[in-house]
Structures are given as C-alpha cells and as structure tokens.
Homo-oligomer: A and B are copies of this chain.
Amino acid sequence: MLYHVRMDVHPPRDMPAAEFDALKAAEKVRAEELQRQGKWRHLWRIAGAYANVSIFDVADHDELHAILSTLPLFPFMHMQVTPLARHPSVIG
C-alpha cells in the first residue's frame, strides 16, 4: 500500500555538528537500504527547504510507523502521512 509522507527536518540547535552529521549519515544509509528493498519508492527534495516528499510502499500502518519512527532523524522531523488509493484515471 502506498503512503505519501512529507518530512520537515528541524535540526537541533544545541547538538554538536559532528553528532548531527553522524545522524544524517545514518539516515542516508537507512534511506538507501529502504529504497533497495522497494519500501521507500520515491524521495524528492522540496526546493528551498530542508524537507522532502516521499512515497512508501509497505504492508500496513504498523510497518509504516515502525519504519518512520526508527529513522535516525525521526526525533527532529515533523511528518505528515496521507494514505494513497488508486486513481480511476491511471493508465496501464
């Protein structure tokens, strides 16, 4: 099932840069892994913002929450989840 997720990152002001960089690197590794598994289907940067639009393809709400809530940057992100259904005008 597909979920549309918008993530806005709010980096903590008081965390040492090296520590936050490590979190970002871990986030990147995890994002690539989930893309290879076919679960993180699309990932786009919103121009001009520290934010992205993502499409996830997972089994159910519990798997979605398990994935999102364990992302390394989760404590510093605001997420907005929208369930996507099939549109009747889609071809193929």
Given known contacts A11-B75, A48-B5, A68-B48, A28 and B89 CB-to-CB distance under 8 angstroms: yes
Measured as residues with beta carbon below 8 angstroms from the partner, the interface class of chain A is 35 or more
* Cβ distance A29 to chain B, nearest Cβ, rounded Å: 9
B residues within 8 A CB of A53? 4, 82, 84
Interface string of A6-28 (1 = CB under 8 A from B): 00000111100000000000011
Binding site for B on A (CB under 8 A): 1-5, 11-14, 27-28, 31-32, 35-36, 42-50, 52-53, 55, 60-62, 64-65, 68-69, 75, 79-92
Can you list 16 contacts pairing A with B, beta carbon distance less than 8 Å? A3-B47, A11-B75, A28-B89, A31-B89, A32-B91, A43-B89, A45-B85, A45-B87, A47-B65, A47-B68, A47-B81, A47-B85, A49-B81, A61-B84, A64-B85, A83-B83
